[in-house]
Amino acid sequence: MSHASYARPDRRRPVIGITTQTLHAIQGIPEGLPESWVMNQRYFLPVLDLGALPWMIPLLPDDPETMRGIYEHLDGLLIPGGVDMDPATYGEEVHPLCGRLDPARDAVELQLTRWAVADGKPVLGLCRGEQVINVAMGGSLYQDVGAQFEGAIMHEYYPTKGYSRDHLAHHVDVAPATRLRDLLEHTSVPVNSMHHQAVKRVGDGLVASAFAPDGLIEAVEGTGESFLVGVQWHPEMFEARDPTTRHLFREFVRAAEGFGAAA
**Catalytic residue IDs:** 127, 234, 236
HEC string of the chain?
A: CCHHHHCCCCCCCCEEEEECEEHHHCCCCCCCCCCCEECCHHHCHHHHHCCCEEEEECCCCCCHHHHHHHHHCCCEEEECCCCECCHHHHCCCCCCCCCCECHHHHHHHHHHHHHHHHHCCCEEEECHHHHHHHHHCCCCEECCHHHHCCCCCCCECCHHHCCCCCCCCEEEEECCCCHHHHHHCCCEEEECCECCCEECCCCCCEEEEEECCCCCEEEEEECCCCCEEEECCCHHHCCCCCHHHHHHHHHHHHHHHHHHHHC
Contact in structure between 190 and 174 (CB atoms under 8 Å)? no
Residues in the chain, total: 263
Rounded to the nearest 5°, which phi and psi values hold at 211? -140, 140
Torsion of CA 247, 163, 3, 23, to 10 degrees: 110
